[in-house]
Amino acid sequence: METIIKTYPNGLRLVVTPMENFKSIAFNMMVMAGSGDETKTEEGLSHFCEHMLFKGTTNRTGQQIIDEFSRLGVYYNAWTSESATCYYTKSIAENIEACVDLYADMYFNTKFEAEDFDKEGDVIVQEIAMHEDNPTSVMYDRLNTVFYRGTKYEHPVAGNATAIKKYQPQDIYQYLKKHYIAPNTILAFAGNITVEQAEALVNKYFLPYLTTQPATPKQRENCPAIKPESSRLQVKKDTEQQHVALAFPVCNQYDNDRYALSLFNLLFGGDMSSRLFINVREKLGLVYSIHTELETSDIGGSSRVVFSCTPQNTQKVIDVVKQEIDNLLRNGVREDELAKYRNQWHMQCLFGSEITSKVNNRMMEVVSVHNRIISLEDELKIIDALTVADLNAVIKKYLVVENMITVVVGK
């Protein structure tokens, strides 16, 4: 299974991972335009565009788009993040051309009625309200705002209800014209498809309608990782539990420390045998679940401990987390832990390599960040080369309690 990347003169990128003996093909159409690319007067437009592309083209109504996807029996959807907007499908090989045709039509020929625009704006306002009613969503939203305050990533991906209500259809068309261009676009295929077949689809449905002007693919700048100040934010919500995130500033997505940090996050709170799960839940019964996450961007990143518990247990859990960090700083990671979680990393990679959509998502993400192929085998070699000393070094470097950012949502 070898992935190829082809960059066209106009900056369009094609990523193909042929996977023989698979019945499905995953297709992603990524546009490198997310909330971090928006100006102050454009907040929420990347996400709004994602919604509106499904509302019709010069060739199909919104209902026809939905009906065609349903008739094909494919899995389809889209998402918007701080750095990109992605439309994706998963289909059998016989239906991949129809999927590409649909998304190409949406990409090039967006057209919707004013009433559809108004209704979808109301839908997004409801989506924002729905997230505000979900304490976990609020926790992540506020953590992102606090952590990235003063940067391009501080505002929510969906924007705010006031701004959404003020936008006009022309705002969508202008934003699409600015960002939905060849150098910003990555087309990725993984599954029962050859490189030649993927190229033929691109030649038929994309290249004739894109500029031929030479351009360099969009590449985000490798910036020094931000170091936000330690802070604590309490958001009042009428909930039975408090939903808590403890974030430690770490490296950005280009730094090789990310590999040791990923392995550390597995052993610290990655599963039911991790240190935090055993000591916080199994031994003390303070939570139902507790886990760790690693989030990185081009300008920084955080290692996070996330949990929910009743208000009287919150500080107890935080104290135990601090104690476990202190224990790691004093005594370090054990060799048996490294071996166990290195094996777990291998198993997760192996299982993911058997799912075309996961393979496609990984390769698309790698290309969007690094503009080159980093094979799974190469990453596994890096993981295999990590030592206890490497993990202890990143723990001492980044797991500094004095730098911790705390967000608590609940009573």
The per-residue pLDDT for range 184-215, each reduced to its tens digit, is 999 999 999 999 999 999 999 999 999 999 99
Does one domain contain both 259 and 116? no
Q: How far is CA 395 from CA 275, 304, 368, 392, in A?
A: 14, 13, 28, 5
Q: Is the pLDDT at 351 greater than 80, yes or no? A: yes
Phi, psi of 239 (to 5 degrees): -125, 160
Q: Is 390 a member of any domain?
A: yes
Angle of the 335-352 helix axis to the 356-370 helix axis, nearest 10 = 110
Say what the pLDDT of residue 344 is.
Answer: 93
In Å, how far are 10, 18, 248, 285, 362 from 4, measured between CA atoms? 18, 9, 36, 49, 13
In a domain, 86, yes or no: yes
Residues 154 and 261 occupy one common structural domain: no
User: CB neighbours of 393 closer than 8 A, spacing ≥ 6?
Assistant: 260
Question: In the chain, what percentage of residues exceed pLDDT 70?
Answer: 100
What domain range is 369 assigned to? Answer: 231-410
Same structural domain for residues 203 and 235? Answer: no
Q: Which amino acid is at 130?
A: M
Binning pLDDT at 50, 70 and 90, where does residue 411 land?
confident
Q: Express each pLDDT in 73-122 by its tens digit.
A: 999 999 999 999 999 999 999 999 999 999 999 999 999 999 999 999 99
Residue 214 inside a domain? The answer is no
Q: Nearest CA to 370 among 253, 274, 268?
A: 253
Q: In whole angstroms, how far apart are CA 36 and each of 40, 86, 171, 394?
A: 10, 15, 17, 28
**Residue matched to tokens 């081009």:** 298
CB 227 within 8 A of CB 249: yes
pLDDT exceeds cutoff 90 at 137? yes
The pair of structure tokens assigned to 213 is: 């002007």
User: Are 240 and 131 found together in one domain?
Assistant: no
Q: What is the pLDDT of residues 155-192, one digit of tens each?
A: 999 999 999 999 999 999 999 999 999 999 999 999 99
Q: Which residue among 179, 209, 239 closes a domain?
A: 209
Give yes or no: residues 99 and 205 share one domain.
Answer: yes
Phi/psi class of residue 127: alpha, beta or left (left: φ > 0; alpha: ψ in -120 to 50)? alpha
Write out pLDDT tens, residues 299-309: 999 999 999 99
Indicate whether 1 pLDDT > 80: no
Asked if residue 260 and residue 199 are part of one domain, the reply reads no
* Domain CATH for 299: 3.30.830.10
237 close to 410: Cβ distance less than 8 angstroms: yes
Query: Which pTM was predicted?
Result: 0.95
265 and 298 share one domain = yes
366-380 tens-digit pLDDT: 999 999 999 999 999
219 within a domain of the structure (yes/no): no
% pLDDT > 90, the chain: 99
Sign for the pseudo-dihedral over CA of 272, 275, 277, 282 = positive
Q: Are residues 254 and 370 in the same domain?
A: yes
Residue 259 lies in a domain: yes
Encode the chain in three state secondary structure: CCCEEEECCCCCEEEEEECCCCCEEEEEEEECCCHHHCCCCCCCHHHHHHHHHHHEECCCEHHHHHHHHHHHCCEEEEEECCCCEEEEEEEEHHHHHHHHHHHHHHHHCECCCHHHHHHHHHHHHHHHHHHHHCHHHHHHHHHHHHHCCCCCCCCCCCCCHHHHHHCCHHHHHHHHHHHCCHHHEEEEEEECCCHHHHHHHHHHHCHHHCCCCCCCCCCCCCCCCCCCCCEEEEEECCCCCEEEEEEEEECCCCCCHHHHHHHHHHHHHCCCCCHHHHHHHHCCCCCCCEEEEEEECCCCEEEEEEEEECHHHHHHHHHHHHHHHHHHHHHCCCHHHHHHHHHHHHHHHHHHCCCHHHHHHHHHHHHHHHCCCCCHHHHHHHHHHCCHHHHHHHHHHHCCHHHCEEEEEEC
Residue 302: which of 339, 332, 334, 261 has the closest Cα? Answer: 261
The reply to whether 294 and 176 lie within a common domain is no
HSE-CB for 288 with a 13 A CA cutoff: 6
Judged on CB neighbours under 10 Å (0-12, 13-18, 19+), 389 is exposed
Q: How many domains does the chain have?
A: 2
> Do 157 and 250 lie in a common domain?
no
Q: Is the separation of the CB atoms in 285 and 302 below 8 Å?
A: no
Contact 246, 318 (CB under 8 A): yes
Domain end position, chosen among 158, 178, 209: 209
Q: Tell me the average pLDDT of the chain.
A: 96
Residues 6+ apart with CB under 8 A from 124: 44, 47, 48, 51, 158, 159, 164
